A and B are shown apart, each in its own frame.
Chain A
């Protein structure tokens, strides 16, 4: 629209700019302070250095926690990439109409119930069946469960937007169901699968409540380790840890943006 800018337009732009700053500033602040040369988490910084990152890589607690979180997130993304995609295909394509809506609600249920309640529920459940917090089973199941809807919803929305006539064309040209699925359907929904898996990975990497209640003794995830560290310490090492996890998240966003476009994300 080409309208003359009024005073109100400028006021509105100013307000919106301030809100964007409110959204981003705390995160940028953490990143900035991780490069601090001084001992304190305060501005103005006393010089710039990378020493807190150095401290981080020699700190085996944080290193182990990062590796543990990475494995949990990788398994969650891989498992959900398979079962979430299958579930989405079934619900969008094959589910009888009378079940479709109920199934869709059930499949996104882990997102709709508070994570802390799910964590408590799994804590009791795994205790009652005798597994407890052994072998990281409970925590891994919790991570898979909570990140499942991200894959399901992303694949389902890719399937909704997919033009079925291509499949019909393949079928009418003699391709069987499996061939059609492999050569036509799967490539078309691939962006949804990739986005969903990346999201499952990033969210799993950040999950806190599930990990807090279900972790095995002696193995902390990165967010838990940071939480514990901040109870007794308050220095730029924590900011360096935070920066590393921010970089991982942003790398994932960048991959999504470059491969399938950010606006295809479904929350």
Chain B
């Protein structure tokens, strides 16, 4: 590399510019500092404020909201339901997403571009619209029940809505692209010659897949899984539209505290509680998967 390849600070080099070069990052830092970091700190502050009947919050500070939350069986019930839904959605999206990513990564056909659009377009269609589609499909007299009844599989309609079942199905659909895309990037980066070498050395296709391709795609699986898990346990729109009171999740409960009951300090504490659970799960997950990945060949 020539000496010129060293970064040339362009804006500084220009003689008419007296500004130091970090002016370029300044607007972004203001945006993220003032409107992301400070507001997150304000959730924390709000969660320690006292409740008040005639104002948003009272003058004093208290730890009481946290105490109430961790001793409330109703809250824990919703926490477990949220985590269970998140886990099912994560496993299901991995199982459904892997074949698609694998197929797309190796596709040489002229349809590949169209199939890629199939994968990303759900991301561009708003959450409300996608959930609305599932409202049509899963209602008691909706398409799913009509089709199942017509096929003679069920006598009475399955109750999808106002329960975790419908929420789970819709979330799987909503978050499937989020697991396909990291996997796709990962699978495309794997040199196809590695698998071919295994095949030419006599390994069967199944053995090649399970011993070579799958272990190499573990980083993609790890990234996709955590992304979908976090997204699905913090999802609001889908559980709010499909879950009713029986399929309520943590996010729905928090919004209920804030908007319907106008209990901001308690809602803030609940939000912090939710964030703490999420962060601890990510932490444990990363520790466990890091250990598992070290053991890979």
Contact = CB atoms under 8 A, between A and B. Distances in A.
Contacts of A16: 99-100, 103
Nearest to A24: B118
A128 B11 CA distance: 38
A123 interface: yes
Contacts of B130: 26-27
A67 interface: no
A261 to B, nearest CB: 9
B128 A19 contact: no
B236 interface: yes
B32 A83 contact: no
B296 interface: no
Contacts of B2: 168
Interface stretch (A46-54, A55-63, A111-119, A188-196): A111-119
Given A27-B125, A124-B39, A178 B17 contact: yes
A8 B209 CA distance: 13
Contact of A90 (B21, B99, B113): B21
Interface string A1-26: 00000001000110110011011101
Interface in B5-41: 5, 7-17, 21-22, 24-25, 27-28, 31-32, 35-36, 38-40
Contacts of A114: 230-231, 234, 251, 275, 278
B135 interface: yes
Contacts, number: 251
Interface stretch (B64-72, B214-222, B263-271, B287-295): B263-271
Interface in A137-163: 141-142, 144-145, 148, 152
B147 to A, nearest CB: 9
Nearest to B123: A267
A54 to B, nearest CB: 20
A246 interface: yes
B286 interface: no
Contacts of B258: 120, 123, 213
Contacts of B234: 114-117
12 contacts: A19-B99, A27-B122, A29-B133, A43-B146, A89-B24, A103-B25, A120-B258, A121-B43, A167-B8, A226-B129, A249-B124, A265-B120
A116 B32 contact: no
Given A23-B176, A26-B137, A176 B14 contact: yes
Contacts of B15: 176
Interface in B124-148: 124-130, 132-137, 141-143, 146
